[in-house]
Amino acid sequence: MNIRVLRLLKNVTSLELEQKKTHHFCEDMPSKAINSKLSTEVDTRVLNNFFFRNRDIYISKHNRFADYPMHTHTFLEMNYMLQGTATEIVEGEKIVLHSGDLLLLDVGSKHAIQALDEEDILINILFREQTISVNLLSDLRRNNSVLYDFLISHAVGKKAIHADFLLFPKKRGSEIKETIEHIIDEYFLKRDFSNSVIKSYLSILLTQLVREYPLEKNDQISKSQKLATEILKIISQKFRTITLKKVAKQYNYNENYLSNLFKEEVGKTFSEILTQERLIQAHSMITNTIIPITAIMERVGISNKTFFYNKYKEFYHSTPGEDRK
């Protein structure tokens, strides 16, 4: 790991210094990051998508020396124990993290973190379901894993039964540690194209988690599940020009029948998933290039400007112009 980044993470911040003196939690979030209405309703702080303006992944060091109160969020979160130990309470269950352990928290899972000591470094990695590509999911599907079910419920709306968290204990000789440290270095060194590099590393990390933590195979994949997964991959590869009619012709299916089958398996219509993939591709170009937004629309296969802006705002909770700043 980069020595400058490690030194930065070990430094005691002014907020941590205050918590060290009082042993009481000091607010570390701007008011815009907290959904005050939902927080009042559930008596738990609800963190929103404030963190993702102009970035796809947000990383921070967890503040030490005071208990962190119960909270939840509208995004996915990884807690990685860089060094030391941490005790978390997730949906009433006590979890102790040791150096090298990784905890993946679901959207909406309630959790609190007990006070960390000075030698404890806990890294928070936040990302939204929009960051997960259907191409990656189709690869993970081959492993028929719990992690796939966990992620696909957010990425494409499929209703899956899974826990509120997944715990990945440290393994000797694992590549995961190196990948996470690359992600942390890229984020804090703020080098050119770091957002794109971090997204690529996240895909690698998720794939490594499936490979290094194999689970028992579920029931045999049905024909309709296999077909839906193949269509998801086609959408991710040919999003600019693909249509339901072309796919139905390719597989020699009635268009209405295929549409119903796809929605039954995925949870969203073909059109909804296609628009989602186009928005993800557009977002990547908006945040990583200077290509005019009208040209980006053409590149992803959307011609209606009003439709594009409305769907983009609905999906990312920001406008293309805001994300480009």
pLDDT, residue 48, reads 64
Q: How far apart are CA 126 and CA 124, in angstroms?
A: 6
Least Cα distance to 4 among 193, 182, 188, 177 occurs for 188
Q: Which domains does the chain have, with CATH numbers?
A: 1-218 (2.60.120.810), 223-324 (1.10.10.60)
The better pLDDT of the pair 228, 271 is held by: 271
What are φ and ψ of residue 146, in 5° steps? -65, -35
What is the mean pLDDT of the segment spanning 266-286? 86
Q: Is the pLDDT of residue 67 over 90?
A: yes
Model's pTM, two decimal places?
0.68
Q: Is the pLDDT of residue 38 over 80?
A: no
pLDDT, residue 159, reads 44
pLDDT, residue 19, reads 96
pLDDT, residue 310, reads 93
What is the mean pLDDT of the segment spanning 112-136? 83
The three-state (H, E, C) secondary structure of the chain, written as one string:
CCHHHHHHHHCCCHHHHHHHHHCCCCCCCCHHHECHHHHHHHCCEEECHHHHCCCCEEEEECCCCCCEEEEEECCEEEEEEEECEEEEEECCEEEEEECCCEEEECCCCCEEECCCCCCCEEEEEEECHHHCCHHHHHHHHCCCCHHHHHHHHHHCCCCCCCCCEEEECCCCCCCHHHHHHHHHHHHHHCCCCHHHHHHHHHHHHHHHHHHHCCCCCCCCCCHHHHHHHHHHHHHHHCCCCCCHHHHHHHHCCCHHHHHHHHHHHHCCCHHHHHHHHHHHHHHHHHHHCCCCHHHHHHHHCCCCHHHHHHHHHHHHCCCHHHHHC
Looking at the chain, the whole-number percentage of residues with pLDDT higher than 70 is: 81
Compute the mean pLDDT over every residue in the chain, rounded to the nearest whole number.
83
pLDDT, residue 160, reads 43
What is the mean pLDDT of the segment spanning 12-40? 84
pLDDT single digits (tens) 188-239: 998 888 888 998 898 888 888 877 776 544 445 678 877 887 888 788 889 9
pLDDT, residue 140, reads 60
What is the mean pLDDT of the segment spanning 278-291? 85
Q: In what order do the strands lie in the sheet with 57-61?
A: 57-61, 121-127, 76-83, 102-105, 165-168
Q: Is the pLDDT of residue 161 over 50?
A: no
pLDDT, residue 283, reads 83
Looking at the chain, the whole-number percentage of residues with pLDDT higher than 90 is: 43
Q: Is the pLDDT of residue 154 over 60?
A: no
What is the mean pLDDT of the segment spanning 315-320? 80
